[in-house]
Amino acid sequence: MSNQKEMAQASNGPAIIPAHIAIIMDGNGRWAKGKGVPLILGHKEGAAALKRVTHHAGILGVKYLTVYAFSSENWRRPQDWIDDLMGLLRFYLKHEVKELLNNNIRLRVIGDKSQFAPDIQNLIEKSENLTENNTGLTLVIALNYGGRKDILQACRNFVNHLTDGYKTFSSLSENMATLNEEEFSSFLYTKDIPDPDLMIRSSGEYRISNFLLWQIAYSELVFSHKLWPDFNEADLDDAIGMYNSRDRRFGAVFAD
Ligand code: IPE
Ligand code: IPE
Ligand code: MG
């Protein structure tokens, strides 16, 4: 098939496919509680939902799918919950690389990886390297990610970059004065990735919880009542359908 539109029509999807979809995959805990099963089972089913949605997004022709898997604030949860989730992350990284390779998916992780156990950091690096030449969907997993921390680390990177090259405070302040949004964006974790066109949050919560704060300035927001483990291909189609019904103006005048 020659373009995204044909691919979307072939799968009965809507006509305009967002290039970048971001998802806050929320509701795993409530799903498990509702079923009376251990919390970790909710996260396992959440990983299965992620596989479904990733596969479907790839078929539709989505270029970037960024998913919030662990926030920089999730360390506030009980240690045994964190340990279980890290176990699941290890399992996912070890066993999914093959599937990512088979499906031509490139993996990228954003967030502060330095707080993870060394073996997890190695698994992330290995998976990113193995899939870096894939040309299909880019799956971006946000791990130990916080939008405010992203902006702060971009500021630090920018200043380090300038002081490396210029050394003096006056040249630093001159460069600060001409810093523009595009240049600043290139210091964020999401450098080289366009801003999300569509952001979805599952589980009926209407908040951003410190996800891509800078990057979602003009994203269309869709909130789903489905708990993340129940989220499926049709729910993604529905969200894209809502995206298609929106009029993106980016601050310009309303056009009939
Ligand atoms: C979201 O599921 C995933 C992570 C935070 C890792 P939750 O664990 O927040 O699920 P709820 O919100 O308690 O239902
Ligand atoms: C956001 O969900 C983080 C992820 C989905 C990974 P949370 O469950 O942590 O957010 P709050 O605490 O309800 O705002
Ligand atoms: Mg939650």
Residues 65 and 187 in one domain: no
Asked whether the predicted pLDDT for residue 249 surpasses 50, the reply is yes
> What's the confidence (pLDDT) of residue 51?
97
- Asked if residue 256 belongs to a domain, the reply is no
Mean pLDDT of 127-146: 98
> What's the confidence (pLDDT) of residue 170?
65
> What's the confidence (pLDDT) of residue 167?
57
User: Distance of CA 207 to CAs 26, 202, 211, 230, Å?
Assistant: 11, 10, 9, 20
Residues 50 and 158 in one domain: no
Closest approach atom of ligand 2 to CA 209: 14
- CA-based angle 68:74:75, to the nearest 5? 135
Does the Cβ of 209 fall within 6 Å of ligand 2? yes
Residues 159 and 227 in one domain: no
DSSP string computed for the chain: --SHHHHHHHTT--SPPPSEEEEE---HHHHHHHHTS-HHHHHHHHHHHHHHHHHHHHHHT-SEEEEEEEETTGGGS-HHHHHHHHHHHHHHHHHHHHHHHHTTPEEEEES-GGGS-HHHHHHHHHHHHHHTT--SPEEEEEEEE-HHHHHHHHHHHHHHHHHHHH-SHHHHHHHHHH--HHHHHTTSTTTTSPPPSEEEE-TT----TTSSTTTTTT-EEEE--S-GGG--HHHHHHHHHHHHH----TTS----
Q: 160 is in which domain, residue-wise?
A: 149-193
> What's the confidence (pLDDT) of residue 187?
95
Mean pLDDT of 60-70: 98
- Asked if residue 164 belongs to a domain, the reply is yes
Choice among 113-122, 125-134, 176-185, 208-217 with the minimum mean pLDDT: 176-185
CA 123 to chain CA centroid, Å, is: 18
- Asked if residue 180 belongs to a domain, the reply is yes
Predicted confidence (pLDDT) per residue in 232-245, tens digit: 999 999 999 999 99
- Asked if residue 253 belongs to a domain, the reply is no
Q: How many domains does the chain have?
A: 2
Residues 84 and 176 in one domain: no
Residues 83 and 209 in one domain: yes
User: Ligand 1 pocket check: which of 26, 82, 210, 231 to mutate, most ligand atoms within 8 Å of Cβ?
Assistant: 26
Residues 174 and 200 in one domain: no
- Asked if residue 38 belongs to a domain, the reply is yes
Predicted confidence (pLDDT) per residue in 3-15, tens digit: 444 444 444 554 7
- Asked if residue 172 belongs to a domain, the reply is yes
Beta bridge partners of 143: 70
Instruction: Return the ligand number nearest the Cα of 208.
Output: 2
Residues 224 and 123 in one domain: yes
Residues 174 and 115 in one domain: no
- Asked if residue 250 belongs to a domain, the reply is no
Residue 24 CA to ligand 2 centre (angstroms): 8
- Asked if residue 135 belongs to a domain, the reply is yes
pLDDT: which is higher, 165 or 29 = 29
Instruction: Return the ligand number nearest the Cα of 209.
Output: 2
> What's the confidence (pLDDT) of residue 3?
42
Between strands 198-201 and 220-223, the pairing is: parallel
Per-residue pLDDT band for 171 (boundaries 50, 70, 90) equals low
> What's the confidence (pLDDT) of residue 172?
67
Asked whether the predicted pLDDT for residue 211 surpasses 60, the reply is yes
What percent of the chain is predicted at pLDDT more than 90? 84
pLDDT: which is higher, 152 or 165 = 152
With a Cβ cut-off of 6 Å, ligand 1 is lined by 25-30, 70, 74, 203
Q: Which residues are catalytic?
A: 26, 74
Residues 15 and 84 in one domain: yes
